[in-house]
Structure 1
Amino acid sequence: MTDEHTAPDGGLTDEAQAVLDEIDEKDVDFLRLQFTDILGTIKNVAVPASQAEKAFTEGIYFDGSSIEGFVRIQESDMRLKPDPETFAVLPWRTDESGSSARLICDVIDTSTGEPFTGDPRYVLKQALARAEEMGYEVNAAPEPEFFLFEEDENGRATTNTADQGGYFDVAPKDLASDVRRDIIYGLESMGFEMEASHHEVARGQHEINFEYDDALTTADNVATFRMVVRAIAAEHDLHATFMPKPIPRINGSGMHTHISLFTDGENAFHDDDDEFNLSETAHAFLAGILEHAPALAAVTNPTVNSYKRLVPGYEAPVYVAWSDRNRSALIRKPAARVPAASRIEARFPDPSCNPYLALAALIHAGLDGIEQDLDAPDPIRENIYEFDEAKREEYGITTLPSNLGEALDALEADEVVQSALGSHVTEKFIEAKTHEYDEFRVDVSQWELDQYLEKF
């Protein structure tokens, strides 16, 4: 069995051999072969570093029936194919006795020898292939926010924040600055190019930004980022969570996602002659996202809790509109100092999403806008939060689904977003999320008990 990591003579490619050399140089003892399930949870198989060559030439096999949304028991054999470009030593596993490293893998269906259509990384690769067929390369940059909470005496997470800071605060209010610093050092050691970090609006809430990159690398980076943040926070006896709304009545955590298309090294989203410096391509792309926003929400905001964030008044966008100024719209056009930086910012995704599926869905929706030559509506420069229903109707502004159930209904009616995910992922995703929403609907919350138990 051979693949692109095996040279024609049966040996390793230069890229794979370079990884083996680095394993020796850095005294790596174990490799974590990493992938994600359909819901975006990182999975990994740990193997001794001595198995690295075998991993590249033969792959490592695992039971796919045990992974959420993969296959049934009679179709269980899967193979992990490591991507040598994703090799990185883990910053929290380095000591005198050696260290551990990770390789992100593609999942292969052993019955066909082809990429597994239920692998989220493959889903994103298919979206990028579609963009390439249309002459585009896709770049993206997310801004994942997270909370840091204290742990109790048993090491379990609480919702007691680790600080009382606010937006851009510094010590002593922002007591987590040392944690952010260690996270940044850890990410930089893994090859991340960091841009900025700061305390966010809510107490205990933080944001760390890394540089724009191609969409596949960006999705890999988001998956890695969440893992590194949790691990390093735990070293400080804190719990990091990417849950969108862990505390009621304060701001939740979003993952604002910047996207642009490039053609032959030039930014296809830039136009000097446009009032907003956005090309016709960019206008059509953002129109596609607005057109498919209700169905996209099921993928970009995939949990019951996501819709506790998507309510007016807490800086979360709920209105299907775009703007070059205010942040109440679904899509914002950020200011750009140079043509290469012209981009759009989708403000509705949250960090609980599967980054591969979310980017794939956004890309397909935008490309559909280009293919259909959709016209973007006029931007809304006023604060939509202050609009009443009549004024929103006057402007033709609709809202995102108010709960996961409505978003799943929209997904089931949207062929474009379904095609982005593929039939396998669409079926398994809707099945899993419908079960989650049904479990929520039949549960009785503490709020209901507090409100009604003694009242009625």
Structure 2
Amino acid sequence: MASFVDRHDLWTDEQALQAAELDRRLASGEVDVVRFAWPDQHGLLRGKTLVASEARSALRGGVNLTTTLLAKDTSHKTVFPVFSAGGGFALPGLQGGADFTLVADPGTFRILPWAKKTGWVLCDAYMADGSPCPFATRRILQKAVDELGREGLDFVAGLEVEFHVFQLDDARMVLADSGQPGEPPRVSLLSHGHQYLTELRYDRVDAVMQVLHDQLIALGLPLRSLEIEFGPSQFELTFGPTVGLMPADTMVLLRSAIKQICQRQGWHATFMCRPKIPNVMSSGWHLHQSLRRRGDGANAFIPEEGAGDLSPLGLHWLAGLKAHAVGASVLACPTINGYRRYRPFSLAPDRAIWARDNRGAMLRVLGGPGDAGTRIENRVGEPAANPYLYLASQIHAGLDGMVRRLDPGPSADAPYETPAEPLPRSLGDALAALQADEVLVERFGRTFVDYYCHIKQAEIARFNLEVSEWEHREYFDMY
């Protein structure tokens, strides 16, 4: 009987060749186990680990997971009535905790350098009939990349990612600390912070930097720099430009890798935007983006000499990012915590605006005539964002700017003073803005937007049920 991949013709010719080579490697005994990893709706990696002999058959046969995983919020609570008709999704094939199937993308296979004889492969999700899972975010980005490709263009992106690493003092593993979610670990600082980019601070955390450097390079990620950020125990890594799905694939892998590597060393890494520690500085994810012409491989954003900051196409793309900045906010900043970062005079944006090489603006234009690195840096994202949705939002917004030949207006030299549309100040406001953005709703599909907003509204509802420390301090004694 034909395999799941063969029955539904799910691989390209190139992937079939990659799978044959991977099968040979698995048969050679190079690895003992393979992790089949799938990025869920939050950009978290889920999946199953198979011994090598079973992994060989699973390459073409697929790996089954329960569709209830599609119904989880960030606490891993199921927020859809999965045993009702349609599973709460109003779509066939998702009811009753039925299975969906992971199919490996064999070109993504890697050996994990921190785990003994362990392979890793990224997967795409399909329904039982072989159709793409409608809520699989990697597929959503692939469709956006394909749409851009029909214009003869490739999406190119580089990553600039901030995060925190702490000394892990207490993992909170006593029985009373369990829960959904459980109690967060107790940590202490690796650096006091506030000595941005100083060599002495870097040298004091060189043990962290050396481990991350060695492991991420061994993993094959395009690491460019390791930096001390401004806040206590805050770090930044930058990654070179890659094309299409690869920037998003890199982001989900590096987040998972850093957390695993650090945990094994007795450290706790977090991509939470603004942890609750004294003197904290928020972490951002700055996305550098440009377009490459498929015809000649040239950067399509480079302007002609004396023609301004960007090419006409680049200006239209910039205008599209600006026009849909508010609607796309929730895809760049999907957590309640992330909206604590948007504040004036903080090197984080607070309004939909662009400027020439100004870090206070949401959209920072870099490069110019003759500069192959000409690009747009979007500073709106938080490092917890699902990269497939974030990148897809950029492509859809930029394409709309191209189609409608939008004008971004003049550069804002005073980005915290120039009048402009404010970014949402809460997750709830951002969800409403996405639902009101007709272009993004059409491009992502109403079904997906409603699904995604339902999950995020469930998180807001849980948040609103909790009494905060601020409320208790403010009212408990006064009234």
TM value normalised by structure 1: 0.90
Of residues 71, 92, 105, the one that matches 2:123 is 105
Structure 1 residues 52, 292: CA separation in 2 closer, same or farther (over 3 Å shift)? same
1:408 to 414, 424, 431: 431
- In the alignment, the residues of structure 2 paired with residue 255 and residue 379 of structure 1 have an alpha-carbon distance, to the nearest angstrom, of 22
Do structure 1's residue 200 and structure 2's residue 256 form an aligned pair? no
Partner of 1:33: 36
Q: Does 1:85 align with 2:107?
A: yes
Match of 2:220 in 1: 191
| Aligned partners of 2:111 and 2:119 also within 8 Å | yes
The code of the aligned residue for 1:255 comes to W
2:354, 2:397 → 1: CA distance? 15
Contact 1:120/1:356 (<8 A) preserved: yes
Partners of 2:13 and 2:288 lie apart in 1 by 37
Report the Cα offset of residue 152 of structure 1: 2.5
Q: Distance in 2 between matches of 1:374 and 1:153?
A: 53
Deviation at 1:184, TM superposition (A): 1.9
- The 2-side partners of 1:235 and 1:65 are apart by 30
Q: 1:209 aligns with which of 222, 238, 249?
A: 238
User: Is the contact between residue 145 and residue 154 of structure 2 (CA under 8 Å) also seen in structure 1?
Assistant: yes
Provide the residue aligned with 2:141 in structure 1.
124
State the one-letter code of the partner of 2:239. Answer: F
Give 1:46 deviation, angstroms: 0.7
Moved more, 345-354 or 413-422: 413-422
Corresponding residue for residue 443 of structure 1:
466
Question: Is contact 1:310-1:402 (8 Å) kept?
Answer: yes
Q: Aligned equivalents of 1:327 and 1:289: distance in 2?
A: 16
Greater displacement, 23-32 / 355-364: 23-32
**Mapped pair 1:326 → 2:358:** yes
CA distance in 1, matches of 2:269, 2:378: 24
Instruction: Kindly state the Cα deviation for residue 7 of structure 1 after the two structures are TM-superposed.
Output: 7.3
| C-alpha separation in 1, matches of 2:424 and 2:324 | 12
Residue correspondence of structure 1 range 162-241 to structure 2 within 5 A: 162-165=190-193, 166-171=195-200, 175-241=204-270
Q: Please give the alpha-carbon distance, in whole angstroms, between the structure 1 residues aligned to 2:271 and 2:53.
A: 35
Would the alpha carbon gap of residues 159 and 309 (structure 1) be closer, same or farther in structure 2, given more than 3 Å must change? farther
1:146 matched to which residue of 2?
163
Aligned to 1:46: 49
Q: Give me the whole-angstrom Cα distance separating, in 2, the residues matched to 1:36 and 1:168.
A: 33
Q: CA distance change for structure 1 residues 116 and 84 in 2, over 3 Å: closer, same or farther?
A: same
Deviates more, 1:191-200 or 1:274-283: 274-283
Separation (CA, whole Å) in 2 of partners of 1:346 and 1:402? 18
Which range moved further: 119-128 or 25-34? 25-34
Distance 1:174 1:251, change over 3 A: farther
- Counterpart-to-counterpart distance in 1, 2:11 and 2:311: 39
Q: Does structure 2 conserve the Cα–Cα contact (< 8 Å) formed by 1:149 and 1:157?
A: no
How far apart, in 1, do the equivalents of 2:105 and 2:155 lie? Answer: 20
Look up the match of 2:18.
15
Deviation per CA, 1:301-352, whole angstroms, max 9, x where unpaired?
0111011011123211112111112111110012369533111010001111
Q: Structure 2 vs 1, CA of residues 373 and 249 (structure 1 numbering), >3 Å: closer, same or farther?
A: farther
SS at match of 1:145: strand
Partner of 1:73 in structure 2?
Answer: 95
Cα distance per residue 1:360-393 (max 9 Å; x no partner): 01110111010111011101123x33x3xxxx34
> Aligned residue for 2:312?
280
> Which runs of 5 or more residues in structure 1 are unaligned?
none
The Cα shift of 1:62 comes to 1.9
Q: What pairs up with 1:345-356 in 2 under 5 angstroms?
A: 345-356=377-388
Whether 1:377 and 2:406 are equivalent positions in the alignment is no
How does the TM-score come out when normalised to structure 2? 0.86
8 A contact 2:273–2:337 mirrored in 1: yes
CA distance in structure 2 between the aligned counterparts of 1:6 and 1:416, rounded to whole angstroms: 31
Q: Which letter does structure 2 place at the counterpart of 1:251?
A: M
Give the Cα–Cα distance (whole angstroms) in 2 for the partners of residues 191 and 365 of structure 1.
30
Of residues 169-178 and 339-348 in structure 1, the stretch that sits farther from structure 2 once superposed is 169-178
Unaligned residue ranges in structure 2 (runs of 5+): 73-86, 173-183
Judge conservation of contact 2:27–2:53 (CA < 8 Å) in 1. Answer: no
Change (3 A) 1:450 1:29: same
